[in-house]
Structure 1
Amino acid sequence: MKIVCISDTHNRHVELRLPPGDVLIHAGDYSMRGHVAETEAFLSWFANQPHRQKVFIAGNHDWIFQERRENARAMVPEGVIYLEDEGVTLDGVKIWGSPVTPTFENWAFMHTSATIGTYWDAIPDNTDVLITHGPAYGVLDRVRPHSEHIGCPRLRQVLDTRLRPKLHVFGHIHEDYGQEVDGTLTSVNASFLDHRYLPVNAPVVVTL
């Protein structure tokens, strides 16, 4: 299975040049504020991509999926899979998606250290591909100007002790785009925009 990974397109999705693949994954922040018009434009574009399977999660900018959950889900077109702390199996590959990130200012789907663990504990042990909007602590999670790590410590703990996914796709931290391989786990920060919100990063392709 060839998986094409993108994230943090923030309304600039039409500027992407997507490579071919079996599954197209968007790890959240398709918009700036999650307005209806932004959502409709993204979903129309996403649904029309040639990849056989298309999966996305919301990000902290995509407010409509938190504030108007039923309306937002009703907008998702046929052939597109939206995951919000839930999973799907595609060709035998078990995928789980969550929009949750640690609290930072006032954005959507954010949780404190007291509550965020319940979302990570819900991820099944046999997950093959994990999609979260934000990274685990210490993995492609550095921010300017001092390269401080701001990923989720609780998610890192769960990945280190219980989960054994083959692929973890995320974004959120624009300035630490890239991929890392640690044993059997490939971690991908697929942010399309950089820290200046310029569309400079290419989609990342991973073959399972």
Structure 2
Amino acid sequence: MRILQISDTHNMHQQLTNMPAADVIIHCGDFADNGTEEETLDFLNWFIELPYPHKIFVTGNHDLCLWDAKGIENLPENVHFLQDCGCEIDGIKFFGLAYNHPEALIPDYTDIVVTHEPPVMILDESNGVNWGNAPLRNRVQEIKPKYHLFGHAHDGYGTDKQEGIVFSNGAILDDRYNIINKPHIFEITK
């Protein structure tokens, strides 16, 4: 399975063209900037139309319109809004945690954890500040998924492998809101 990760597009999603082919695209939150319903609908219309067989997204701190949503009506079957819930695609178990929600919700047997927040001290530095979440890091290290995909700290873009877990910050924009980073691509096997 080929996975494409993006995050922190802040209303600039329409500018992402010629993205690589993949089986699953994952957006790790902050698709909006002010969190309005209009921004959210614009993102959803774009995301739904992308030519990927499966699409996953979670909320970020800027996505206020969906913070308390339990689901979104009329999403196509191949679009998964992982708000403190999971899905399974071709035997790979995904779990998405809503922004600033308790990490204890992440099930033990998860292959790919999708959050907006980074784990503390792993690809979480931006403007000299570590924006990561310590309890989240502890939970991820406890359950040992294959991947933890996130964003939030724009200047923390990159990947790092620790204790068999691939950590990936997929922030597309830098802290000045310029598109400077490319989407991450991962080949996942069950």
The reply to whether TM is greater than 0.5 is: yes
8 Å contact kept, 1:43–1:76: no
- Structure-2 residue corresponding to 1:174: 154
Moved over 4 A (4+): none
8 Å contact kept, 1:133–1:172: yes
Q: 1:185 aligns with which of 155, 160, 165?
A: 165
8 Å contact kept, 1:136–1:152: yes
How far residue 142 of structure 1 moved from its aligned partner, in angstroms, is 0.7
How far residue 198 of structure 1 moved from its aligned partner, in angstroms, is 0.8
State how many pairs are aligned.
Answer: 187
8 Å contact kept, 2:140–2:148: no
1:76-113 residue CA offsets vs partner (Å, 9 max, x unmatched):
44531101111111111000001223xxxxxxxxxxxx
8 Å contact kept, 1:95–1:129: yes
8 Å contact kept, 2:35–2:65: yes
The code of the aligned residue for 2:58 comes to I
8 Å contact kept, 1:83–1:98: yes
Q: 1:123 aligns with which of 88, 99, 106?
A: 106
Which stretch shifts more, 147-156 or 54-63?
147-156
Q: CA RMSD in A?
A: 1.6
1:26-81 residue CA offsets vs partner (Å, 9 max, x unmatched):
000100122122111111111111111000011111111125x26x7126445311
Q: Secondary structure at the match of 1:47?
A: helix
The code of the aligned residue for 2:147 comes to L
8 Å contact kept, 1:40–1:75: no
How far residue 165 of structure 1 moved from its aligned partner, in angstroms, is 0.6
Q: Which runs of 5+ in 2 are unaligned?
A: none
- Structure-2 residue corresponding to 1:202: 182
- Structure-2 residue corresponding to 1:64: 65
Distance 1:62 1:148 in 2: 22
